[in-house]
Amino acid sequence: MQLSHRLRALAALLAVVGGPLSVHAAQESAASISASSAPASILSSALSSVSASAVSSASVVPSSAPTSAPVSSSAAVSSSAPGPSSSAPVSLSSVLSSAPASLSSVISSAPASVSVSFSAASSASASASISSVASTPISASSAFISVSIPASNASISASTTAPPSVSVSASAAAAGSPSFNSGTGTETGPITVPLSEYTFSSFPVASSTPIPKVFVPVTPANPPPVSSDEIPDFAQAWADAYEKAEAFTLGLTVPEKVNVVTGVGWENGRCVGNIPAVGEWPGLCLEDSPLGVRDTDFNTAFPAGITAASTFNRSLIRTRGAFMGAEFKGKGVNLALGPMMNMGRVAQGGRNWEGFGADPFLSGAAAYETVLGLQSSGVQATAKHFINNEQEYKRTQESSNVDDRTEHEIYVAPFLQAVRAGVAAVMCSYNLVNDTYACENNRTLNQILKGELGFRGFVMSDWSAQHSTLSAVAGLDMSMPGDIDLGSHTSWWGPNLTAFVDNSTIPDSRLDDMVTRILASWYFLGQDAPDFPPVSFNAFNNNDPATNQHVDVQGDHWTVVREIGAAGTALLKNNGALPLNKPKNIAIIGSDAADASMGPNGFSDRGGDDGILAMGWGSGTANYPYLIAPVDAIQDRAVQDGTDVNWWFLDFNTAGAQTAAFGFEAAIVFANADSGEQYITVDGNAGDRNNLTLWHNADNLINAVAEVNNNTIVVVHSVGPCILEAWIENPNVTAVLWANIAGQEAGNSIVDVLYGDFNPSGRLPYTIAKSPSDYPAQPTGGGGPNDIISVPYTEGLFIDYRHFDAQNITPRFEFGFGLSYTTFAYSNLRTSTIAQQDHDSTQLEQAWAKGEATPNVEGASTAVWLHRPAFEVTFEVKNTGPVAGGEIPQLYLHSPDSSEPPSLLRGFADVLLSPGESQTVRITLSRYDLSVWDVDAQGWRKPSGAFQISVGASSRDFRLSGTLPV
C-alpha cells in the first residue's frame, strides 16, 4: 500500500505515540485519513498534541529524508526504552557551559527505535527559468512535516552528547573519551533532534577590551592592513548591529519573523537564494560563487581559490576578495556565497579547487584575507561548507566520522579564522558529521561554531541540506532556498516553523535569535545604507530585459586576475628552457591551449572540458566575460618577437602532434585535469575525479612530442594534484609549469611566466605524489541508492604532507614547492618573545605557559590573548641570482612530541628582491599556533617540551632552524 508523504509521516507518528504498534497497523490507521483531508495543519496539530506526556513513552524526530522514505513493514517498534521527560525542557545555551553537553545529553535514555530507509536529498541543479520575487514563504497548504524514528542501533547520544575523540594517529579512542565510528561501510541511519519542548537563552558574548596596536576596534569597511600585527576587534561594530537588529525584531509578528529565516523557494526570486522583504526591510539576495558573481554578465571570472592559495601572497588574496566583493555589491547582492574552505583531504575531491588546499594554516590565512577583502567592499561573506564536506560522492548520504581533535585542528581551523575576520554568515554542509546531519548538528553548530568560536553571524543551510523543522534548535538560522526539495513548494519552516513556535516546541526566544542574527549581519555590513544597490540581474533568466539591467561591475579587476594567475603558477622543473627569449619558432600542442569550440560559456556551469581550463564546474563558477587562450596570448607575443608559431589541438592524434612539433625550437604541450560538483558529470566524472591522471590523453601526447622535440615544455592547468610519473623524468621534458585554474586571463598569465615578465613564485598548496596510493585518504564509495555511507577520517591529523613526512614517503613534488628563475639564500635566524605592554590576560597566559588548557567558555577559541603575536622569528633572505624575483619563505613547527606530525606550516611571507638585494623577513607566531586541542579539557593546550622551528622554501627544503623561547 502506497501512502502520501503526509500520511507516511502521520503513520510514523501514530506508531510512536501508540507504543508497540506495528508499523503496518499504524499505516492502516493513517490510511483511513484521505490525502485531501490531511493538510499540513492536521499534521501540525498532531505534532503539537504530542505533548511531553505522549513523548514520554517514545521519542519522535523529524525525518532526515525529505523525499519519499517508506517505513519498512517488517520493522518492529521497541518500547523498552523510556523517552524524554516532559518536566525537563532543554536550554540550548546552557549546554554550552560544559563542552560535552548537548541537546541529547539532558534527555533521558534512548528512545524507541525502528528500522527505516533513507533517500537522498536533492542537490542544487542547473539554472532554469524564474518567476518574480515571492513575498511570502512556501504555502502552508503544500507543506508537510515528516517524522521518523532513529534506527535500532543508533543512540541519540552517540555523537551529540560529547565530542568523539581518538589518539593522535586516530587509530584508537582516547581513554575515557567517547568513541566515534571509524569503520567503513554504511550507516544504520542518522541521529536526529528529538521532538520535545525546548527553552533558549541567547549565547553569552565573549567580553573583550581593545588593546592599542594589538586589538584594534574596526568595522568591516576598514580592516587592519595586510600582514599587520593588529587583530581586528569587531565587538563594537557587532554590538551596534545587534542593537538595531533587536529593535527591529521587537516589532515583528511570528509569521514575519519566519519570513526572515525562510527562503522564498527555488526559482521564486532573482537570485539563487532570496529572503522576502518584511515591512521596511528589503530582504536579502544570496548569490554564488567563491570566484565571482554567478549567473550574470559584465562580471569578472576570477582565479579559483586554489590558485589564490598557490600565490602564498596575502596582499593578492585580500585584493581578490575586495574586488569580488565590489562586484557582488555592484550587482545588488547582499551575501556572497563564499569563500569555500573545506580541506583538500582527498586529492580527487571534486570541489577542492574552490578552496585553499590541503593545509589548515594556509587555508585559514587565505580564508581570513578573503573574508576581510569581501566584507571591506560591503558584501556579507559566507564561510562554507561547515563542515567535513570533502568529497562529492553521496555528499547528501555520507557521514564524515571525525575525532574531536582532528576536527578542531584541521577542519574547524579555516572557519575559526573566518570568524576572527568577522564573517557574517556560515553555510552548513550536505553531509552528516558523526551520524548527524551538519545542518542540525548541535555539536558543530551550537557548541563549536557559536560557542567555542563565538560566531555572531547566522548559519544558513546549503541548498536543500535542511532535514527537519527542529534544525532550528540545533543551530540553523536560515533555510535555503526555503523548500525541502528544489521547486517542491514544501518547507520544513515557513508555516511549520510558525506552528512549532506557537505550540512552544521551539521557543519564541530562539526564533528571535535567528532573526536577530540575520538582521545584525545586514546592519554589520552597512547594508541599511540608502544607496545600497538594488538587485540588477536575474540568475535564472539572464536574457530577460525586464529583470536584467546588465550592470557592468568589472572595473580594472582583470589586472589582479592576470597577476594572480601568474603569481599562482609554480615552476616544478626547469633545465634552462625557461624563460623563453625570442625563440625563432615554437609549436603549441594540446587542446588546453585553444579556445573552446562552443565559446567560453558553452557548457552550463562550465560542465565540460573543451579548450583552455580556467575553472572547474558546478555552482562555484561564474560566466566568463571573455577568456584568453594561451594560443592567442602566445601569438600576441610572437608578433613582438618575430617568432613563427605552429599548433596542433587534436589530443588523441599523437602522430599529427609529432609532425607539428618536429624541428621547432620549443614545443609547449598544454594539458589539464578537471572536476566539479556532483550534479554534473563530465567524461564519466561525477564531481570527484575518477583518477589522478591528466585528461585528454595527455601522458601519451607529452611523451609523443618529447620523442621528436628535445625541448618539450609542459604547462598544466589542473584543479588539483595529478600523477606525472609517465613523463616527468623524460630528459626531453625540459620544464614544467603548474598553472592551476587562472580565470579569464589564463592565457596572458601563463605567457607572463613563460617569457619571464613574471618570475614564477607560486607554491604547491598540496603534495603531488608518485602514486595515488601514497595519499593518506582515498574517496569513499559504495552504498546503495538509499544507503548512508560511512567516511572515516582515520588518518586523523596526518593529512597531505604530514602523512608523507610521518611515513617517510618521497613525493614527486612536496607541499610548498616551487622554483624560480633566480636563486635565494637564507641566513641569520633569530627568535624572541614579543613583549606585551598590557596585562589584561596575564593569568590566562601564565596558565597556558604551564600547560593548562584554555577555559571552556564562549569565544575561548578566538580569544585575543590566544591569537595575538607572542613569538617572533626573523631571518635574512638574499637574491643571489641574475634576475629580480619573489621568494616565499615558509616557517614549519616541529612538535616536542614525536608522535605528532613531524612538521606543521605555521607562517609564510612573500619577498620581492632585485639581484643582490637582501631583506629581513619577520614571521610571528601566536599561542594558538603552538597549541593542540585537549579533548578531555575541551580547550587549547601547550604541549610540554621545546619547540623546534625550520625556515625554508618548502615543507622539505629547510634552510634554517632554531628553537622558540617558550
* Per-residue pLDDT tens digits for 645-661: 999 999 999 999 999 99
Q: Is 545 contained in some domain?
A: no
Q: Is 547 contained in some domain?
A: no
Range of the domain at 166: 10-171
Share of the chain above pLDDT 70, in %: 81
With cut-offs at 50, 70 and 90, classify the pLDDT of residue 632: very high
| Statement: residue 149 has pLDDT above 50 | no
DSSP string covering 494-558, please?
THHHHHHHHTTSS-HHHHHHHHHHHHHHHHHTTTTSTTPPPP---TT-TT-TTT-------TTTH
DSSP code of residue 610: -
> According to the model, what pLDDT value does residue 652 have?
98
> What number is the average pLDDT over the span 326-339?
98
The reply to whether 585 and 693 lie within a common domain is: yes
> According to the model, what pLDDT value does residue 184 have?
63
Angle at which helix 360-376 crosses helix 413-420, to 10 degrees, equals 30
165-169, 530-534, 892-896: which range is least confident on average?
A: 165-169
| Statement: residue 199 has pLDDT above 60 | yes
Strands 432-433 and 436-437: antiparallel
- Do the beta carbons of residue 477 and residue 519 sit within 8 Å? no
Q: Is 195 contained in some domain?
A: no
With cut-offs at 50, 70 and 90, classify the pLDDT of residue 157: very low
| Statement: residue 906 has pLDDT above 50 | yes
- Do the beta carbons of residue 112 and residue 460 sit within 8 Å? no
Q: How many domains does the chain have?
A: 4
Q: Is 799 contained in some domain?
A: no
- Do the beta carbons of residue 66 and residue 467 sit within 8 Å? yes
289: preceding bond cis by omega (within 30 degrees): yes
> According to the model, what pLDDT value does residue 92 have?
37
What end-to-end distance do the CA atoms of the chain give, in Å? 70
| Statement: residue 748 has pLDDT above 90 | yes
The reply to whether 244 and 149 lie within a common domain is: no
> 296-320: per-residue pLDDT in tens?
999 999 999 999 999 999 999 999 9
> According to the model, what pLDDT value does residue 209 have?
86
| Statement: residue 39 has pLDDT above 60 | no
Q: Where are the alpha helices (DSSP H) in 593-647?
A: 630-641
The reply to whether 27 and 161 lie within a common domain is: yes
| Domain edge (last residue) among 743, 760, 777 | 760
Grid coordinates standing for 480? Answer: 535555503
Q: Show Cβ contacts of residue 545 under 8 Å, excluding neighbours closer than 6 positions.
A: none
> According to the model, what pLDDT value does residue 192 have?
87
DSSP string covering 226-270, please?
TT-SPEEE-HHHHHHHHHHHHHHHHT--HHHHHHHHB---TTSSS
> 373-385: per-residue pLDDT in tens?
999 999 999 999 9
The reply to whether 96 and 159 lie within a common domain is: yes
- Distance CA(485)–CA(41), nearest Å, equals 20
DSSP code of residue 582: S
- Distance CA(303)–CA(564), nearest Å, equals 7
Grid coordinates standing for 58? Answer: 517514545
> What number is the average pLDDT over the span 624-649?
98
> 411-448: per-residue pLDDT in tens?
999 999 999 999 999 999 999 999 999 999 999 999 99
Q: pLDDT averaged over the chain?
A: 84
Residue type present at position 76? A
The reply to whether 100 and 245 lie within a common domain is: no
> According to the model, what pLDDT value does residue 183 have?
55
**Distance, C-alpha 908 to centroid of its chain:** 22
The reply to whether 278 and 365 lie within a common domain is: yes
| Three-state SS at 22 | coil
Grid coordinates standing for 692? Answer: 589522478
The reply to whether 872 and 943 lie within a common domain is: yes
- Distance CA(251)–CA(244), nearest Å, equals 12
> 463-501: per-residue pLDDT in tens?
999 999 999 999 999 999 999 999 999 999 999 999 999
- Do the beta carbons of residue 640 and residue 579 sit within 8 Å? no
> According to the model, what pLDDT value does residue 840 have?
85
- Do the beta carbons of residue 349 and residue 688 sit within 8 Å? yes
The reply to whether 501 and 594 lie within a common domain is: no
Q: Is 290 contained in some domain?
A: yes
Q: Where are the alpha helices (DSSP H) in 721-824?
A: 746-754, 801-806
The reply to whether 846 and 931 lie within a common domain is: yes
Q: Is 282 contained in some domain?
A: yes
Cell 619571464, residue located: 756
CATH of the domain at 871: 2.60.40.10
- Distance CA(598)–CA(579), nearest Å, equals 32
On the CB side of 923, CA atoms within 13 Å amount to: 25
**Burial letters 107-126, b for 16+ CB under 10 A, else e:** beebbbbbbbbbbbbbbbbe
Examine the residue annotation and report whether 462 is marked as an active-site residue of this protein. yes
Q: Is 920 exposed, middle or buried (0-12, 13-18, 19+ CB in 10 A)?
A: exposed
| Statement: residue 119 has pLDDT above 50 | no
The reply to whether 347 and 403 lie within a common domain is: yes
> What number is the average pLDDT over the span 136-160?
29
767-776, 783-792, 822-831, 836-845: which range is least confident on average?
A: 836-845
| Statement: residue 896 has pLDDT above 70 | yes
Q: Is 786 contained in some domain?
A: no
Q: Which of 741, 721, 720, 678 is nearest to 307 (CA)?
A: 741
Q: Is 360 contained in some domain?
A: yes
Note the maximum CA span of the chain: 88
Cell 618521497, residue located: 810
| Domain edge (last residue) among 121, 151, 171 | 171
For residue 336, CA distances in Å to 396, 586, 692 come to 23, 43, 31
CATH of the domain at 280: 3.20.20.300
The reply to whether 344 and 487 lie within a common domain is: yes
> 158-179: per-residue pLDDT in tens?
232 233 333 322 222 233 333 3
Task: Identify the active-site residue in 359, 404, 462, 477.
Answer: 462
| Domain edge (last residue) among 720, 736, 760 | 760
Q: Where are the alpha helices (DSSP H) in 525-651?
A: 558-567, 630-641
> What number is the average pLDDT over the span 670-694?
98
Q: Cα torsion for 301, 306, 307, 311, to the nearest 10°? A: 140
> According to the model, what pLDDT value does residue 867 have?
97
The reply to whether 485 and 341 lie within a common domain is: yes
> What number is the average pLDDT over the span 853-866?
96
> According to the model, what pLDDT value does residue 734 have?
98
